[in-house]
Chain A
Amino acid sequence: MEETNENVEASSRIYEVAYLLSSNISEEEIPVVYGNLKDLIINLGGEIISDEMPKMIPLSYTMTKVVQNIRSKFTSAFFGWVKFEMKSEKVLELKKKLDLDPNLIRFLILKTVKENTIAAKRFVYRDSKRKMPIIKKEDQNETSLPIDKEEIDKEIDAMVA
C-alpha cells in the first residue's frame, strides 16, 4: 500500500542493482569501475541511497560470458550492489547501458524498499524458544517455595515437641 502511494507522489521508485565484475580486472581498477557505475546512475537522474564496494567472492557455479567472440569462464568474481531512487522510465536506459558493459559478468535490477533490508539480528528465534521453558520453571519454584517453608516449620515443631 505504501509503495503505491509513493508512486503517485514522486513517480520514482527504489531500485537495487547487484552486479558481478569480471575477475580479470585487477584489484586497483575496481574502485574506477565502481565509480563509473555510480556516475552512470547519477547521470540518469538517480539518487544513491546505499551501496557496497565490490568484494571478491567465490561463485557457487561457473559462469560464462562471451565478449568479442571469446568465451571466458569465471569461478570467482567481484560482487557489489547499489541501492538508489530513480524514475521508472530511466531504469530501462540503465539496463541497456549495463548490457553493453564488458566488465560485468551479469547484473540484476530489483525493485526494493528504502529501509536497510539486511537483518541485523540473527538466531533470535531459537534463543527466545529456549528461554521460554526456563521462565515457566522459575514461576513454579516461587509458588512452591512458601509452601515448603510452612511444611518445614511444622516438621521442626513436631521434632521439638
Chain B
Amino acid sequence: MKQDYFSANNIKYIDYKDIDILKRFLNPNGKIMSHKRTGLTAKNQRALALAVKNARFMGLLPFVAR
C-alpha cells in the first residue's frame, strides 16, 4: 500500500513554518492541491490545510500567486 508523505517521513505534527514541505502541496497559483493529487490520509490533509492557512496569515505563503 502506498504511504502518504508525512507518515513515510515520520512527521507527526505538520508545522506551518516548514514552507519547503508545504510548498510541494501547492499548485502554481498557490492553491492547496486536492486530496486526490496529494495522496495524503484524510487526517493529514486536514492538518496540511490548516498549516498552509496559518502560513498564509503570517505572510510565509501567498494567498494568490500568479
- On A, residues with C-beta under 8 Å from B are 18, 20, 57, 59-61, 63, 77, 79, 81, 106, 108, 110, 112-113, 115, 117-119, 121-122, 124-125, 128
In the bound complex, what is the Cα–Cα distance between A128 and B15 (angstroms)?
Answer: 23
How many whole Å from B62's CB to the nearest CB in chain A?
A: 4
Minimum CB distance partner of B4 in chain A: A125
Whether, in the assembled complex, B42 has its beta carbon less than 8 Å from a beta carbon of chain A, the answer is no
Q: B57 is contacted by which of A108, A118, A122, A125 (Cβ under 8 Å)?
A: A108
Please determine whether B13 and A113 come into contact, CB atoms closer than 8 angstroms: yes
Answer yes or no: B11 CB below 8 A from chain A CBs: yes
Q: How many A-B residue pairs have CB under 8 A?
A: 60
The minimal Cβ–Cβ distance linking B36 to chain A, given in whole angstroms, is 18
The answer to whether B13 and A112 have CB atoms under 8 Å apart is yes
Provided the pairs A110-B54, A119-B11 are in contact, do residues A60 and B59 lie with their beta carbons within 8 angstroms?
yes
Nearest 9 interchain pairs by C-beta:
A59-B59, A60-B62, A117-B15, A117-B13, A125-B8, A119-B11, A60-B59, A124-B9, A113-B13
B-side interface mostly: loop
* Main secondary structure on A side of the interface with B: strand
From B5, B17, B56, contact of A125 by CB (8 A)? B5
**A77/B15 contact (C-beta < 8 A), A121-B9, A125-B8, A125-B9 known:** no
| B8-35 interface bits toward A, Cβ cutoff 8 Å, 1 = contact, 0 = none | 1111110111101100000000000000
Q: List 8 A-B contacts (CB under 8 A).
A: A20-B58, A20-B59, A60-B62, A79-B60, A108-B58, A112-B13, A117-B13, A117-B17
Across-interface contacts of A128 in B (CB, < 8 A):
8
What is the size, in residues, of chain B's interface with A at 8 Å between Cβ atoms?
24
- Least CB distance from B24 to A in Å reads 10
Assess the A118–B58 pair: CB atoms within 8 A.
no
Kindly provide the distance from the CB of A33 to the nearest chain B CB, expressed in whole angstroms. Answer: 17
B13 in complex: contacting residue of A81, A115, A122, A125, CB < 8 Å: A115
Whether B5 and A119, one on each chain, are in contact in the complex, defined by CB atoms closer than 8 angstroms, is: no
B63 to A118, Cβ gap below 8 A? Answer: no
